[in-house]
Amino acid sequence: MKLIGSYTSPFVRKISVLLLEKGIPFEFINELPYNAENGVARYNPLGKVPALVTDDGECWFDSPIIAQYIELLNITPAMVPREPKAALHIRQLESLADGIMDAGLTIVRELARPAAQQSETELLRQREKITRSLDALEGYAADGTLKADETNLATIAVACAIGYLNFRHVSPGWCAARPHLVKLVDTLFQRDSFARTEPPKA
């Protein structure tokens, strides 16, 4: 099995963590999606990471789809409940975390533009998305919907999203007044799967 992605992508990290938690061996192929010669497009017409190539040559792309494929392999531990509505709740929390990743990536790309071309309106809009989403996740962590001692698709996605915010310094004060979320991600960050997938220091 081959995972095509970038070491700094939070979406790729989510899939790497899932594979490591399940003990599924894979080869990591480092491809930067924003290079002029985009090798990712061979696996995903959209030119986005991650992409997963199975031993049978099947190619899957988009991290929620890849995560679902991995669950279909029925390799323990299960990261999504069997019961459909419970699974949908986990998927919705994954989607919320993915939205934080998307907003963070948008901010990083916007700040990479020349200062005169940056849109303060766009930066504010993305920061507000992150703030609202983190507040919602704090609520879910406080009421037990997200549990610090549970490793599932939702908690993994949340930790990957916050790991990206930390890595890119996108929302440096995110931990203020969010103690339950801090406890959750600190617990996840101590796992071997997260230590092995930490983005390289610049």
Between the alpha carbon of residue 55 and those of residues 19, 22, 71, 149, the distances in Å are: 14, 17, 16, 33
Contact status, residue 165 vs residue 174, Cβ threshold 8 Å: yes
Topology of the domain comprising 2-72: Glutaredoxin (3.40.30)
Contact status, residue 79 vs residue 159, Cβ threshold 8 Å: no
Q: What residue type is assigned to position 108 of the chain? A: V
How crowded is residue 20: how many other Cβ atoms within 10 Å of its Cβ?
A: 18
Environment class of 22 (CB within 10 Å of its CB; exposed 0-12, middle 13-18, buried 19+): middle
Question: Each residue's pLDDT tens digit in the chain (202 positions)?
Answer: 999 999 999 999 999 999 999 999 999 999 877 665 768 888 999 989 999 999 999 999 999 999 999 999 999 999 999 999 999 999 999 999 999 999 999 999 999 999 999 999 999 999 999 999 999 999 999 999 999 999 999 999 999 999 999 999 999 999 999 999 999 999 999 999 999 999 998 6
Q: pTM value?
A: 0.96
Longest CA span, the chain: 51
Domain boundaries, the chain: 2-72, 84-195
> What pLDDT, on the 0 to 100 scale, is given for residue 202?
60
pLDDT tens digit sequence for 108-151: 999 999 999 999 999 999 999 999 999 999 999 999 999 999 99
Cα gap 5→19, rounded to integer Å: 14
The residues, any chain, with a CB within 8 Å of residue 142's CB and separated by 6 or more, are 180
Between the alpha carbon of residue 82 and those of residues 6, 12, 87, 141, 202, the distances in Å are: 31, 24, 7, 22, 40
Contact status, residue 65 vs residue 96, Cβ threshold 8 Å: no
Q: Does domain 84-195 have CATH number 3.30.930.10?
A: no
